[in-house]
Amino acid sequence: MRKRTTAVLSCGLLVAACGVPQAQYDAALSDASKEKGRAQALQDQLEKAQAENEKLRARPTAAELDAKTKEELEELRKQKAAADARLKTHDELVRRFRKMIDAGKLEITVRRGQIVLALETDVLFDPGKTDVKAEGKTALKEIADAIKTVGGRRFQVAGHTDTTPIKTKDFPSNWELSTARAVVVVKLLAGEGVRPAVLSAAGYAEFDPVGNNMSANGRAKNRRIEIILLPNIEELITIPDLKPKPDAKK
């Protein structure tokens, strides 16, 4: 197109040099400019058509949309079934431990989507100690009898403290104290018949509070042992099918 425009201009110059009227020369320039504009318009249309074609190629077909909708509905059904199962387990545990809950020895909550049985460590341990008191052993035996009936679950025993610092030979910080208490409780639960394979221990020290450490009542709530019913992995994510798809060309 540029060559054509240049040719028109060159012709215009030659014509002008040969005595061609100015009006004809101006008309030649105008025609060249119009031709250039038409070429640019065609180029713009071509690029737009190519872009629309790419969008159409990327757009899923009706069959693909139908399959995706079914997949999403199935995922929602699985999530609802898992939520219903958690609710049923929660209600059964509340019913079973009603006496301990009413006595203030045990609290059952749903925290971060997990069922949590929380015992204040004052029921289980003396301050700064890891030896379980007689009252605490009785409570843990009752808990062990209950969680043995919950099939297909793993349980994490988590130790927590308040912000009161500790620094002894055995426990340089609350990390060691909270973890050691969790391990002791795990061993007691295993001794009462809970399968060791479904138990684990963790210590959080003072860094996961549920109460205000500025009050005595809040600190008491933070000094606790939690027995957490861990969710099954299929309740959290859907693992994609990683099998290679067959090559249609083969």
What are the tens digits of pLDDT across the range 64-100? Answer: 667 777 787 788 777 777 778 878 888 888 888 888 8
CA angle 93-99-100, nearest 5°? 75
Q: Which two tokens stand for residue 10?
A: 């060159």
pLDDT at 244 over 70: no
Q: Which residues contact 106 (CB under 8 A, 6 or more apart)?
A: 97, 100, 117, 118, 119, 139, 143
If 0-12 CB within 10 Å is exposed, 13-18 middle and 19+ buried, where does residue 225 land? buried
Q: Which residues contact 246 (CB under 8 A, 6 or more apart)?
A: none
Confidence of residue 19 (pLDDT cuts 50, 70, 90): low
What are the tens digits of pLDDT across the range 107-153? Answer: 999 888 889 999 999 999 999 999 999 999 999 999 999 999 888 88
Domain-wise residue ranges, the chain = 2-42, 75-234
pLDDT at 182 over 90: yes
- Region of poorest pLDDT, from 31-40, 118-127, 137-146, 236-245: 236-245
pLDDT at 42 over 80: no
pTM over 0.85: no
pLDDT at 40 over 80: no
Fold of 75-234: 60s Ribosomal Protein L30; Chain: A; (3.30.1330)
- Which pLDDT score is estimated for 239? 45
- Which pLDDT score is estimated for 177? 98
Q: Which two tokens stand for residue 82?
A: 């898992």
- Which pLDDT score is estimated for 88? 85
3-state secondary structure 28-96: HHHHHHHHHHHHHHHHHHHHHHHHHHHHHHHCCCHHHHHHHHHHHHHHHHHHHHHHHHHHHHHHHHHHH
Most confident of 15-24, 27-36, 40-49, 101-110: 101-110
Average pLDDT, the chain: 81
pLDDT at 248 over 50: no
